Amino acid sequence: MTAESDSGQRAPALPLNILIVDDEVNIRKTLAMSLETENHKVTAVSNAQDALTEAARKSFELAFLDLRLGTEDGLDLIPALLAGSPWLKIIVITAYASIDSAVEAMRRGATDYIPKPFTPAQIQLAVRKVYEMRTLEQKIAALQEDLGRMHPQVDFSSASPAMQRAVNLARQAAASDATILLRGESGTGKTALARAIHSWSRRSARPIGIMSCAAFPMDLLENELFGHVKGAFTGALRDYPGRIAACEGGTLFLDDVSDLPLPLQPKLLRFVQDKEYERVGDASIRRADVRLIAATNIDLEKSVQEGRFREDLFYRLNVIPIEIPPLRDRPQDIVPMAERLLAFFGRANHKSFQGFTPEALQALIQYPWPGNVRELSNVIERAAIISGSERIGVEYLPSGFQPGDVALKLGDAVSIEKIEEFHIRRVLANSKSLHDAASILGIDQATLWRRRKKYGI
């Protein structure tokens, strides 16, 4: 495949980090000048070793590679570069063009092939194609992630002054690269707000990674976050870049950052401070241009006092703290949100609804919503699925919303599960965090999570 001139196309909207590997100094200079006029960031080297060194230090999106590097074969460098950066696009340039060499370069992972001599227009077109390819890949990844969730689009309009302050601060913070700490109970919408901040930022065309620190044991968490090299541990059959490298130029959202194990906290601190990190099994220092947003549903200051969270890391994460209020503190938002959710889930289930009965609206307003917006979404989705009428009545709401469910009395003819659900809901409604609720209930947070999932809380 050979790139041809097409001056009718526009230049990429964002600069790329580009590596040039060519043993001819004039080619390196000419190619660098052509790329720098398009505002791309260029690093030029003359041999394979320097190329691998630079690729370990920086994150490149595109490489121009000469197949003849003195006595070295550029073909061997293609898989070596891709091992450390599987998302890298490689364009081969050579004066020794042949069908066989082009096929072999593509077989080893090259993206495009340009014979010497080339024109600046050919180079610019090749770069545009790579830019468009990366943009399409990112859009596909985002669509796959969205399809996996299939949640309604978040509307941040609110009648609550506290929520308005949170959203306004998030919009202001999005314009900077400062680290943001989102604070709020589980289910308040921290992940949705992190996505919004990314979409409002200059990094919106780059990827955003979503990662929960509570979802991995310590060894897997380090591997997932920082990546590993081949042979780092049993089963490490190939290099894995990690989430940080995958988010180059974009944003990484670390949810439940309070669950980050103490041994990993200095490593995250180093990345937050210096944008440097090391992969598991490799002492090479790597750098990444990634904006960090963290979130917690517990009192991090208390965790610092108890020695469970590093004070220096807390201050590095808490540059711009944003408090997201629980749903029970903004009752004026419950009905508008419920109506938007009902419209969405109605369309998803091919139904048309005329809203809620007055009794159902009253029940929604009076309920304490320990699971916050996530629980509200689950309740409305359930009602939309099981309802057989155009208006959602209280009979389509879960137990706990019915008029007779205001309290349970000793001797009531109810099941143990019913009593457990009622008790968990009330404890959650009166606890400051899931950690506190689990302590009151005498169970761990993992068990509490399973109970909440079971009862739709």
What CATH number does the domain containing 277 carry? 3.40.50.300
Domain boundary among 268, 291, 325: 325
Q: Is 5 part of any domain?
A: no
Bridge partner list, 276: 287
Whether residues 217 and 282 share a domain: the answer is yes
Whether residues 360 and 429 share a domain: the answer is yes
Whether residues 100 and 170 share a domain: the answer is no
Residues 357/403, Cβ–Cβ less than 8 Å:
no
Whether residues 125 and 171 share a domain: the answer is no
Q: Is 144 part of any domain?
A: no
Report pLDDT for 359: 92
Residues 229/279, Cβ–Cβ less than 8 Å:
yes
Please give the backbone phi and psi of residue 153, each rounded to the nearest 5 degrees, phi first: -65, 135
Comparing CA positions, the residue from 381, 385, 362, 369 lying closest to residue 327 is 369
Q: Is 303 part of any domain?
A: yes
User: Both ends of the chain: CA-CA distance in Å?
Assistant: 55
Report pLDDT for 8: 41
Q: Which two tokens stand for residue 350?
A: 């091919």
Whether residues 220 and 238 share a domain: the answer is yes
Report pLDDT for 381: 93
Domain boundary among 325, 343, 366: 325
CA–CA distance, 452 with 420 (Å, rounded to integer): 11
- pLDDT average per 10 residues of sequence, the chain (457 residues): 41 74 91 90 93 88 88 84 83 75 82 85 87 75 56 78 96 96 94 95 90 88 90 82 90 95 96 94 90 95 95 97 94 94 91 93 89 91 92 88 53 64 76 77 81 81
CATH number for the domain spanning 376: value is 1.10.8.60
Q: Which two tokens stand for residue 255?
A: 């949810």
Comparing CA positions, the residue from 297, 273, 299, 301 lying closest to residue 287 is 273
Report pLDDT for 141: 64
How many CB atoms are located within 10 Å of the residue 242 CB?
21
Comparing CA positions, the residue from 193, 190, 189, 213 lying closest to residue 308 is 213
CATH number for the domain spanning 56: value is 3.40.50.2300
The region, left, alpha or beta by phi > 0 then psi within -120 to 50, assigned to residue 2 is: beta
Helix, coil or strand: residue 320:
strand
What is the extent of the structural domain holding 186?
Answer: 161-325
Please give the backbone phi and psi of residue 356, each rounded to the nearest 5 degrees, phi first: -115, 155
Residues 249/204, Cβ–Cβ less than 8 Å:
no
Domain boundary among 278, 307, 325: 325
> Is the bond preceding residue 117 a cis peptide, omega within 30 degrees?
yes
Burial annotation 6-34 (CB, 10 A radius, 16+ → b, else e): eeeeeebebbbbbbbbbbbeebbebbbeb
Report pLDDT for 7: 39
Q: Is 152 part of any domain?
A: no
Q: Is 165 part of any domain?
A: yes
Report pLDDT for 151: 56
Q: Which amino acid is at 394?
A: V
Whether residues 104 and 245 share a domain: the answer is no
Whether residues 376 and 244 share a domain: the answer is no
Structurally, how many domains does the chain consist of? 3
Whether residues 283 and 393 share a domain: the answer is no
Q: Is 12 part of any domain?
A: no
Quote the DSSP letter at residue 326. Answer: P
Q: In 346-390, at which residue ranges do the beta strands (DSSP E only) sit?
A: 355-356
Match 């200059």 to its residue by tokens: 202
Q: Is 6 part of any domain?
A: no
Burial annotation 166-193 (CB, 10 A radius, 16+ → b, else e): bbeebeebbeeeebbbbbbbbbbbbbbb
Residues 430/423, Cβ–Cβ less than 8 Å:
no
Helix, coil or strand: residue 19:
strand
Comparing CA positions, the residue from 87, 64, 59 lying closest to residue 77 is 64
H/E element, 392: strand 391-392
Whether residues 295 and 347 share a domain: the answer is no
Report pLDDT for 146: 58
Q: Which two tokens stand for residue 428?
A: 């959650």
Whether residues 181 and 319 share a domain: the answer is yes
Residues with Cβ < 8 Å from 431, sequence gap 6 or more?
370, 437, 440
Whether residues 313 and 346 share a domain: the answer is no
Q: Is 146 part of any domain?
A: no
Whether residues 367 and 219 share a domain: the answer is no
Report pLDDT for 67: 84
Angle in degrees, CA 246, 252, 258, rounded to 5? 130
CA–CA distance, 84 with 60 (Å, rounded to integer): 10
